[in-house]
Structure 1
Amino acid sequence: MRWEGNRTSSNVEDRRAGGGGGIGIGGGTIGIGTIVIALIGGAVLGVNPLTILGMLTGGGAPQVQQQGPAPAPPANDKMGQFVSTVLADTEDVWKQQFQQGGATYVEPKLVLFRGAVRTACGAGQAAMGPFYCPADQKVYIDLSFYETMKTRMGAGGDFAQAYVIAHEVGHHVQNVLGISEKVQRAQASGSRAEGNALSVRLELQADCFAGVWGHHAHNQRQILEQGDVEEAMNAAAKIGDDALQANAGRAVVPESFTHGTSEQRQRWFATGLKTGSVKSCDTFSARNL
């Protein structure tokens, strides 16, 4: 992936030097790593999955934790600069997409942390994987997740790492457009199975939005190199619900899916990447996911 030398974002907060503290329950987070914890838990990451899931799905209003300003990543931190560059790229793409629709894009913040972090959705932990908190409109990433992707999931590569960021930014786009709120209201009045089905559609749309970013970023800045698309498709396959359940030695239970199958995640990412169209990402109207 060609990223060095491109613009970096001013919306990155480097909180890796501080502690996260707390085990408070918040307003819920939407993360690419939540299903990993639910299925693999302590066997892979050394964390009790019930503890994490309770933190993610527990009740109570979001609790905003006041924190002082955090610095940007140092210039000599290559991975920090990579994340900042990818975030800037998503800003450029989504600003243009919103402008074309007659709207203004509200840029999210991205927080780098290590171990644990306080968020407006409660306490976040590295074992949750990258996640988006709609209550404070921030994406949270412990960069050790990328090593987990590479060594434990077999999903390495810089464009695979960029896909993770773009997916979480996709959740921010859903939040800004009011999609996430509608889904949460529908989930509150439905059964668990219905809620899971809505979650799948939400996650697949975020995958498609990640593809939309990749489409326009490449057209404008030629970021893709040979093998990059395959890296992202491989990552999408590794984090499909069916693959995670099977790899954890569990029975594959479609009713429990919250993110979609490997095939679905690959296909919706590819749809966004091919078309570059937000309208093509309407997973909620699709008869066949």
Structure 2
Amino acid sequence: MKWRGRRTSDNVVDVRRGGGAMRGGGARRAGGLGLIGVILVAVAGLFFGVDLTPLLGGGGMGLSPDAPPGRSSGPNVIDDAQEEFVAVVLADTEAVWTREFERRGATYRAPKLVLFTGAVSSACGRATAAVGPFYCPGDDQVYLDVDFFRTMERDLGARGEFARAYVIAHEVGHHVQNLIGVMEQSMAARQASGATGANEISVRTELQADCFAGVWARGAQEMFGVLERGDIESAMDAASRIGDDALQRRAQGYVVPDSFTHGTSEQRQNWFYRGFDTGDMEACDSFSGPI
């Protein structure tokens, strides 16, 4: 992926140094969880998650009150290559989605992306790195512990910079859903459904976010020429490794389709590629017809 030396977003808030992690106060710790624990959390619907409230127990807290407020990265205060990479990808999502919203006569409001280490508080509650990257609709922010990228590569075998960009684009896809009202509707539908019905709605929500990530990839290539050989294959490989069936099979040796919350490997690949192939938000209607 061609990202070095390119424009960075001002919407990265880095709380990794001196206070991003929760201190005491009942914070949940990731230590000792291990790969199987991370995968089981994923199976519960919190890997690349959206609605963290059931796990995190309440919301509306914002960042930890005993932590510094963090800072926007800006183009002149990037501290390391990881932050620069995240800020470039986020800038690309801003450009692509601004263009897509303008085409529809609307205005795109970009999310903040919070970099944290270990644990963090959001409007959706307290979260540790064990839940993976997530988007909180309560504060319109994406949360990312960049150590997750190492987990992707080391433990799940999802390699390549574009696989990491796909992670960010997927979470920003949830933000797009929030802006267009899909998030609110899907959450209401899940609350009104039984467990199996709620899981199906969750799957459809996640697959649309995958499709939106594909739309972003197409747009970023058109606008900036970001793709290099093997990048799309890297994203597709990552999608295959985080399918519910793949994660359940790895964690427990068998799959329980009724418990799926994010979609199978094949579904995640198909919906990402649908977005990339068409470059069209309208093609990402995962709520109508079979998936």
The normalised TM-score by structure 1 is 0.88
Separation in 2 of the partners of 1:162 and 1:246? Answer: 25
Matched, 1:107 2:110: yes
Separation in 2 of the partners of 1:229 and 1:210? Answer: 11
CA contact (8 A) 1:24 1:122 kept: no
Which residue is 1:92 aligned to? Answer: 95
RMSD: 2.4
CA separation of 1:59/1:226 partners in 2, compared to 1, >3 Å: closer, same or farther?
A: closer
CA contact (8 A) 2:12 2:114 kept: yes
Which residue is 2:12 aligned to? Answer: 12
Distance apart, 1:264 and its partner CA:
0.3
Distance apart, 1:179 and its partner CA:
0.4
- What runs of 5+ residues in structure 2 fail to find an aligned partner? none
Which residue is 2:186 aligned to? Answer: 183
Which residue is 1:240 aligned to? Answer: 243
Distance apart, 1:58 and its partner CA:
5.0
What aligned pairs does 1:102-251 form with structure 2 within 5 A after superposition? 102-251=105-254
Which residue is 1:3 aligned to? Answer: 3
Which residue is 2:35 aligned to? Answer: 44
Distance apart, 1:251 and its partner CA:
1.9
CA separation of 1:203/1:78 partners in 2, compared to 1, >3 Å: closer, same or farther?
A: same
CA separation of 1:208/1:23 partners in 2, compared to 1, >3 Å: closer, same or farther?
A: farther
* Stretch moving more, 244-253 or 255-264: 244-253
Q: Secondary structure at the match of 1:118?
A: strand
Report the residue type matching 2:120 in the other structure.
Answer: V
Separation in 2 of the partners of 1:228 and 1:240? Answer: 19
Q: Secondary structure at the match of 2:252?
A: coil
Distance apart, 1:124 and its partner CA:
1.3
Separation in 2 of the partners of 1:79 and 1:61? Answer: 30
Which residue is 2:263 aligned to? Answer: 260
Which residue is 2:86 aligned to? Answer: 83
CA contact (8 A) 2:38 2:131 kept: no
Separation in 2 of the partners of 1:48 and 1:219? Answer: 35
Separation in 2 of the partners of 1:48 and 1:93? Answer: 32
Deviations 1:105-164 (A, max 9, x none): 111000000001111111111111110010000000000000000010000110000000
Paired residues, number:
273
Q: Secondary structure at the match of 2:142?
A: strand
CA contact (8 A) 1:23 1:123 kept: no
CA separation of 1:59/1:229 partners in 2, compared to 1, >3 Å: closer, same or farther?
A: closer
Separation in 2 of the partners of 1:177 and 1:23? Answer: 35
Distance apart, 1:72 and its partner CA:
3.7
The normalised TM-score by structure 2 is 0.87
CA contact (8 A) 2:14 2:115 kept: yes
Q: 1:288 aligns with which of 279, 285, 290?
A: 290
Report the residue type matching 2:22 in the other structure.
Answer: G
Q: 1:269 aligns with which of 268, 272, 279?
A: 272
* Stretch moving more, 112-121 or 52-61: 52-61
Distance apart, 1:59 and its partner CA:
8.5
Distance apart, 1:76 and its partner CA:
4.5
CA contact (8 A) 2:199 2:260 kept: yes
CA separation of 1:210/1:284 partners in 2, compared to 1, >3 Å: closer, same or farther?
A: same
Separation in 2 of the partners of 1:264 and 1:121? Answer: 28
Deviations 1:252-283 (A, max 9, x none): 11100000000000000000011000000000
